[in-house]
A and B are shown apart, each in its own frame.
Chain A
Amino acid sequence: GDSVTQMEGPVTLSEEAFLTINCTYTATGYPSLFWYVQYPGEGLQLLLKATKADDKGSNKGFEATYRKETTSFHLEKGSVQVSDSAVYFCARRNKLVFGAGTILRVKS
């Protein structure tokens, strides 16, 4: 069935470090792919999305590229900030299936 697998956390980085959070999905057709973020005490919100192969989604300095060859949608950011500390969820359509989430902690 539809599934999403993302790297386990927590991921702890120093401010301005490079971030990668891996995400792979099962491929039934070419589903739209999403990254959602959950900041402490807040609800889930969309961070970025990609709707077809080779699309790159980007927002707030985060990027992810839809790779159909490797069925991956890894999240990257060149320089993290303390305010990026949150839980990040990878998800795929059509019924919007989520990964288990990766906690990111950024230290100043």
Chain B
Amino acid sequence: GQNIDQPTEMTATEGAIVQINCTYQTSGFNGLFWYQQHAGEAPTFLSYNVLDGLEEKGRFSSFLSRSKGYSYLLLKELQMKDSASYLCAVRGAGNKLTFGGGTRVLVKP
């Protein structure tokens, strides 16, 4: 089976940086995804890591260490609109994408 852990909630100030950690245990690994989800809305794709290292996309970066079963999503220059849940998801054996419970990020002025 798969187990994905991420913090439940984080608070940060507008303009600051926040790092959301995700640890996973999986039978088989075929990639890790990060999604953003505003309340009541559809998740939207942010990033995809399949090899170790850092992937940068504008204000968002994602890091993966397969040997440690660890990833993080880094949000820079936080804006109020970044207040949302951030979902870590792992694609394991059988091509199934399993989501963590999500981290709710609250950005304060």
Binding between chains A and B = no
